[in-house]
A and B are shown apart, each in its own frame.
Chain A
Amino acid sequence: VSNNNTTTILEAAKYIPAAPILLPEGPWEQIPGGVTAAKGFKAAGMYGGLRAKGEKPDLALVTCDVDAVAAGVFTLNVVAAAPVLYCRNVLDISKTARAVLVNAGQANAATGDLGYQDVIECASAVAKLLQLRPEEVLIESTGVIGQRIKKDALLKSLPSLIKLLSSTTEGADAAAVAITTTDLVCKSVAVETEVGGTKIRVGGMAKGSGMIHPNMA
C-alpha cells in the first residue's frame, strides 16, 4: 500500500471511535481485523462526496480474491430499497460473489426504476474496474430515504477506492467507518477458532443506530 494510501486509510479510521464489542463466551479468540481478518479478503473506505455534510468516509468496498460462497439476508419490508432488490435478484442466480460496495449518504430507497438503474450502473462500474462480471458485485446503501445516490461522485471515486484496497486491519476499519450514518461508533469485529482442527477466521462489520427493528429473511 503506497504511502499516501496508508495516510488515507489511517485518516478514515480516526473519524469515530470503535464500539465496544460484547462477544459471547465460546471457543474463539477475538483478533484484530474485522472483514479483512479472514484469508482472501481486502477492504477500503474513503470519502467520495456522497454525505450531505462533513468529509467522513462514505464509500466502502470489500473484495475477495476468489469466488466466495455468498449468502444474503434482507429486509422483509415490502418497500425494499433498490440495492436490496438487486442483491436478492443476483443471489437468486449466483451462488458466489467477489465484491460488496457499500455507500452511505443516500439509501436509494423509494427511488423507483431510476434508483434500480443506478444500482446496476454502480455494480457494472465496479465489475469493470475489478475485471469481474457485474453479478459478482453486491451493493448495500444507507442514508437519507427517498433520495437517489450521488452516482457521479460515486463512480468518480471508484478508481481511488480500488487503489486503497488492503488486507490490513486499517482497511477493515476504514470500511467500517465509511458505512456509518448517524452512528456514534463504528462496529467491527473478528474472531479466530478451529473448525475440524483447522484454524479459521470469521469477521464482520455493521452499521446502524436509527430505524432499527430488523426483520430479515
Chain B
Amino acid sequence: TMLGVVTTDALVTSDVWRKMVKTAVNRSFNQITVDGDSSTNDTVIALASGISGSTAISSLDSFEATQLQACLDAVMQGLAKSIAWDGEGATCLIEVSVTGANNEADAAKVARSVAASSLVKAAVYGRDPNWGRIACGAGYAGVPFSQNELRIALGDILLMDGGQPLPFDRNAASDYLKGAGETHGTVEIHISIGNGQGRGQAWGCDLSYDYVKINAEYTT
C-alpha cells in the first residue's frame, strides 16, 4: 500500500484543487510500480489551508495555477520516486522515460509497462542489459507504434535504434547496472517509440530474491 498526505498554504478553490491533485497523482504515484499489485488502501489526501495569502486560484488556466501545478507535481514525484526507490528487496531505482508518443497518456502507459515488467526488473537485478525484454515490455503496453521506430538506451549506452539491435559494450552496460545497484542509485532506461510529442516517465525497482522472502514472511 501507498499512502500520501500533501499540504499547502496556497489559496485555491475546491474544484480547481481536486483537478490539480488528480493531474499530479497521474504524473507521480500512478506512475510507480514495485510488484504489480494495486492495493485496497492506496490513498492520497491533499489539503490547502490558503493561509499564505497568495492570489486566489479559481481557474486551471491561470498562470498561478500553472505555477502551483508544477510545484505539486514535483513534490508528489519526489515522494513517489522515494516509494519506488524503497521497493521491497530493491537495490536500485529504475526510471523509464518514454518520448515520441502521440500524447502524454500513451507515453506514460508504455513507461509504466516497462517499469512493471518482472523480466525487466529481474534483468536489472541480474545486471543484464536485456534490450529485448525492454522492447517486449514496451510492445505489450497496449499503445500502437511501429517497432521499426523503437529506440532503447540504458543510461547513455544505445542498445537499439530504428528497431535494430546495435553492437554495444556489454561489460560497460553491465557495469552501469552494477554501479547503480551498489550505490542504491538510479538506472535510467530511455525509450523512443516514434516522432510524436508525447513524453512520460515511470519509476520502479529491480526484482530481488528478498522481495519473495519479505512477502512470504509478512503474513496475515
Interface centre among B4, B14, B21, B30 (most CB of A within 10 A): B4
Within 8 A of B (CB), among A158-217: 175, 179, 181-185, 187-191, 193-217
Residue on B nearest A68 in the bound complex, by CB: B47
Q: Is the CB of A214 within 8 A of B32?
A: yes
Determine if B22 is an interface residue (Cβ-Cβ < 8 Å).
Answer: yes
Residues of B within 8 A of A66 (CB): 49-51
Chain B binding surface SS class: mixed
Determine if B42 is an interface residue (Cβ-Cβ < 8 Å).
Answer: yes
Residue on A nearest B20 in the bound complex, by CB: A71
Q: Is the CB of A26 within 8 A of B86?
A: no
B residues in contact (CB < 8 Å) with A: 1-10, 12-14, 17-18, 20-22, 25, 29-30, 32-55, 57, 63-64, 67-68, 70-88, 93, 116, 186, 211, 214-215, 218, 220
Q: Is the CB of A26 within 8 A of B71?
A: yes
Q: Is the CB of A68 within 8 A of B48?
A: yes
Q: Is the CB of B35 within 8 A of A211?
A: yes
A105 to B154 CA separation, bound complex (whole angstroms): 39
Interface centre among A39, A204, A213, A214 (most CB of B within 10 A): A214
A residues in contact (CB < 8 Å) with B: 19-24, 26-28, 35-41, 62, 64-66, 68-77, 79-81, 83-84, 87, 95-97, 100, 102, 107-110, 138, 140-142, 144-147, 175, 179, 181-185, 187-191, 193-217
Residues of A within 8 A of B2 (CB): 206-208, 212, 214
Q: Is the CB of A194 within 8 A of B67?
A: yes
